[in-house]
Every structure is written in C-alpha cells, then in structure tokens.
Chain A
C-alpha cells in the first residue's frame, strides 16, 4: 500500500520534470529564432557605418532630383513659377477636378432636386391656410426686396455660367458643337468674372442688412429640433430656425466663394499656382453645395409654404400666413396691420396667391 503510493509520487515527479523540460524547449524554440533580428540590426548598423564614405550622391542625379522636387532656381524670364522646372500640384488639381468633383457634383445636385420633389410628393405641398381676411402685415422694405432679387438673379446667372464651365465640355459640346460651345463658354467666363464682382457687393450688403434679424435663439433651436422644417407649425419669431440656418449658410458660403473668387480673378496679385488650384476646387465645391441648398429655399418660397412669395414680391404678407408661420413675430407687428384695400397699389395687393379665396 505504502510502496504503491511512493511509486505514484515518483511518477508524478517525473511527469512534472518532463512538463517543465517541454515548456523550456518550447519557449526556447520560439525565442531563439528572434535573435536573428538582433543580428540583422547589428549587421545593418555596422554596414551603415562602413558605407558612410560611399554615401555621396550622384551630382547629375541631384540636379534632376532638384528639378523634380520643384526647387526654385533663377530664370531671366519673369512670371509666376517661371523659376521652377516642374511642379506636381497641378496633377492633384486635375485629379480632383476631373475625378470626384466632376463625378459627385451632378449626383449631389440631382439628389437635392429629387429630395425636394420627394418631399413635395409626400407632404403634398404647403399647408392650406385659413381663408384670408384681407388683413396684411408689412414684412420687408423695398430695399430688402431689391437686395434679395439682385443677389438671387446674380446667384442663378453665376450658377448657370459656372456649371457651364465645369460641365459644358461633357454636356454642352455634344449639343452646341465645339465652336458654339466655345462662344458660350467665353461669354460664361466674362459674365461669371464681372457678375461675380457685383455678387460680392450684394452678399456683403445682405450680411450687413439682415444679420440683426438672424441672431439664433432658443426658440429657433426648438423649432429645428422638433421638426419645424417638416411642416409642423412651432412658435417662431420674425425668422424661424430654418430661415436663420439658410441665412447663415449664405453668409458662410458667400464669404468663402467671394474670397476665393476675388483671388482667382486677380492672378496678377495672387500669383501662386498652388493657391489658385486650391481656390478653384474650394470655390466649385462650396458653390455647388450652396446651389443644392438653395433648391430647398426655392421650394419653401413657392410650393412649400404658400403665401411666402408675397414677402419678397409685395413686401407684406397676409395676417393668416404670419399667424401660422411666425406667431411670435405676428404678435409684435399686429399694430401695423392694414387692409389690402388701403394699400395704394390696391389692385396688385388685392390679388392673393392661390392659397385661398381672395
């Protein structure tokens, strides 16, 4: 009995010894080959130290390496980049302009039109307002209206000419022929360059004139978060959250597009080729994003909220429209309310949009 247990202890000891040995061999088998790395590292260091005197570069290759790396030299010919043999940034510019920009911009614009159309179909257009009582409240001054249409018309003209220059080669040359399109492209370029200067003035005036109406507040945040843009009528002041968001889109995009545009039509002042390449890409991307966003604004002004157009054509809106869309503002301007017949241009003011009986 005792002997047997002694034997068992011994065999257990042997087993343990075998296990330890096996583990040792296994670990060693894994670790030892790694020493190769150490050997290679040491060997490389030695080799590097040995090759130091040979590390001189080929002077002929150095010249062409400098040329390839856009090293500035000296040239008697003056001009932007005239003292540089080669630059690579133009190829990046080309890849972006002819690649993602030309590919995704049309999809984005089509998607925005589709989204607006889908929204119109689902929502069935703007809500029908209560029958108009003929009472109206003033909303925009004649200056505001003039400014709005000045900027809006230029916006569309610049969009059409700008898109012609970007996509005309693919879309318009097959339609107009090379000579016909060249004439249109030349006109587009000149209209875009000179029209852009007036557009910048309009954008700056808009920022100066309308920022005071568009300071965001808590009401706007609630309006946006609770889905005011999707037909729910929530409390809103003179401008609701959506209108303020659109205004700030105009400010941001307007500044970026104006600044890049001014730099591009003055290549004598802003000579750097890299700057122009960047400007052209940024200008196109921001302008196209802006154009897509403007489809939403156009929809809201026409089909999305019937009666809105009066604000920018006549300068005043029906009290019913004001109560529904801008209740807080209506409370403020209630005392300025007047009857449409009181207006000197009564014939014009009396004609109501198709939202209800005149």
Chain B
C-alpha cells in the first residue's frame, strides 16, 4: 500500500497561494477556514523562502491522541481523517497539532467552535465515497476517483508534491542531485573548503 505524503520544495515555492485557492475551490471550504496556508520566512530579505503547510497526516498523530471522542482514523494509505459526526468542536486537536492544521468555523453563538475541519488529502471522510453528505462535510474525494490532492495538482512550479511517499522522495532526490548551487551535502565544506 502507498504511504501518502506531502512535500513542499521550498526552493520552488513562489508564494502564489494557488494551492490555498485550489483547496478552497475543490473542497468548497467555508469562510474563515483554510485547510492549507503558505508561510514566507525572512519575508523581504535575501534568501526568503516560502513553505506551503497543511495537515501532514502524521503516523502517530497528536490530534488523534488527544481527541476526547476518538473521532480520528488513519486510512490504509496513511491518510489521517476524522468523523465530523463524532467531533464536538472542543479544539484540543488544534492545540496538539504541530502544524496548526485543524480549523474551526465559528458560526455559532458566542463564537463557539463548530465541528473541526482539516485537510483530508482530498480523500473525503467516513461517509459513502462520492455521496452528497461526504462532499458537504469533508469536500471532494479525489482519491476515490484515482486523483491526487487538488493543491499539488494545481501547483504551478510543482513545488508542492503529493502522493506515494517513495515516488515523492524519488522526484525530490532527482531534483536535489541536479540542482544548481553549492552542494548541500553535510561535511562538504569540511572536506573541500568553503566555496569549493
């Protein structure tokens, strides 16, 4: 079985936010909820880099560990999904997550959190694949259609890669081998001196 992974190539990301838009469009994500976001480090300085972040579908997911109703589950593809029928909107998953992936619509009185929403790797949820209720709650199920997440497919510079971890790693390794610039191998400077 494939182990699905995201990888963002920070050398290619141009902070166009196309992935964010593609995600919102594909999954009909409500106002105020962003399953994916782009963060620019050292913005405006030489060497600024952008990274696109969403749920990283952890193997030992902290959100699943702290959930009071145990609503998370991992698919055979290694995708972490959750059941909105069990979610109570307590917010603990958001506080446990290292990536700030879980999002909460605040449409109720007193700004009470609604049911959590997060990146599903475009794999829908526990409802019948392709059903109206699944689309309404979780958005598109592109995985069931044999497609990969909309964000990665839409990425103009192919900075954001999604899919089987082995294939993603191969693509990234090939890029690194042929990429211009100083070799980034650890110990290079020690062996050959700076600038070699």
A residues bordering B, Cβ < 8 Å?
51, 53-54, 56, 58-64, 66-67, 71, 73-77, 79-88, 90-91, 93-94, 97-98, 165-166, 168-169, 173, 178-179, 181-182, 185-186, 189-190, 193, 266-268, 273, 276-277, 280
Contacts and interface: CB of A to CB of B under 8 A. Distances in A.
Interface stretch (B135-143, B144-152, B165-173, B186-194): B186-194
B30 interface: no
Given A74-B39, A280-B92, 8 more contacts: A54-B193, A58-B184, A75-B40, A79-B103, A83-B39, A178-B69, A182-B71, A190-B112
Given A82-B100, A179-B86, A185-B69, A273 B94 contact: yes
Given A90-B62, A185-B88, A169 B70 contact: yes
B100 A84 contact: yes
A74 B17 CA distance: 13
A88 B182 CA distance: 31
Contact of B96 (A58, A82, A84, A91): A91
B67 to A, nearest CB: 7
16 contacts: A60-B184, A63-B51, A66-B42, A74-B40, A75-B39, A77-B20, A79-B34, A82-B37, A86-B98, A93-B66, A94-B62, A98-B65, A178-B69, A185-B88, A267-B111, A273-B94
Contacts, number: 139
Interface residues of B, number: 51
B34 A77 contact: yes
B70 A173 contact: yes
Given A56-B189, A173-B70, A76 B38 contact: yes
Nearest to B37: A77
Interface string B49-90: 101010000000010011111110000000000010111111
B98 A87 contact: yes
Nearest to B83: A178
Contacts of A80: 100
Given A73-B41, A79-B34, A82-B37, A54 B112 contact: no
B106 A268 contact: yes
A177 B37 CA distance: 36
A53 B111 contact: no
B91 interface: yes
Interface string B21-38: 000000000000010011
Nearest to B194: A54
B91 A267 contact: yes
Nearest to B32: A79
Nearest to B185: A58
B194 A53 contact: yes
Contact of A181 (B38, B47, B69, B83): B69
A169 to B, nearest CB: 5
Contacts of B90: 165, 185, 189
Contacts of B184: 58, 60-61
Greatest chain B CB density within 10 A among A54, A87, A165 is at A54
Interface in B77-131: 83, 85-92, 94-100, 103, 106, 111-113
A168 B68 contact: yes
B173 to A, nearest CB: 14
B41 A90 contact: no
B39 A179 contact: no
B51 A280 contact: no
A67 B51 contact: yes
A273 B95 contact: yes
Given A93-B66, A165-B90, A54 B189 contact: yes
